[in-house]
Amino acid sequence: MNEFDQDARFAKMWDQGESLALLRTAFDQLEIQVVEFRGEQTLIVAPEALLDVLAFLRDDGGCDFDFLTDVTALHWPGREKPFEMVYQLYSFSRNKRLRLKCAVGVDPVVPSVSPLWPTANWLERECYDMFGVQFEGHPNLRRILMPADYEGWPLRKEFPLKSFSSD
């Protein structure tokens, strides 16, 4: 099997625009950017629209993304909005995946998606613990991996790579 055959097989696992068409119909005033790479489609929306878009993707029968597989963040210090929130969705009925992103500022705050998917509780706590992302409406936002008194956000790019001296 060559590289292109593998890419074609892999692309079948990703939503190929069906959900985007439904979103654009339902949210005709919403700006949705689309990035495609190797058959994977990533939708980018404003943080203000995040909850409504994710609820639509979960509840609409044509989308049916009933499983939140991951929530994570990316830190790009040189950008105007240096944090990207990344939501990986899966539809059991359609056997399709979709990635949704939103860019947020220096002090990252986004709404919690715990009311939509209870599993987000732990995933958001991990993002908080590693990146310092605040999730509005989260039922129990506190550290999950690092000690409660730990200072800093280990996965931010400005986090020191060397150990601290005790001298």
The answer to whether position 112 is within a domain reads no
Give the pLDDT confidence of 82-128 residue by residue, as tens digits: 999 999 999 999 999 999 999 999 999 999 999 999 999 999 999 99
H-type alpha helices, the chain:
3-11, 18-26, 50-59, 120-131
What pTM was estimated for this model as a whole? 0.89
Q: How many domains does the chain have?
A: 1
Looking up residue 81, the CATH number of its domain turns out to be: 3.30.460.80
Do 126 and 132 contact (CB within 8 A), yes or no?
Answer: no
In this structure, what are the phi and psi dihedrals at residue 35, rounded to the nearest 5 degrees? -120, 130
Q: Is residue 134 part of a domain?
A: no
Does 7 fall in a domain?
yes
User: What pLDDT, in 10s, does the model give residues 10-53?
Assistant: 678 889 889 999 999 999 999 999 999 888 889 999 999 999 99
Q: Which residue reads 């220096």 in tokens?
A: 106
State both tokens at 38.
Answer: 């190797």
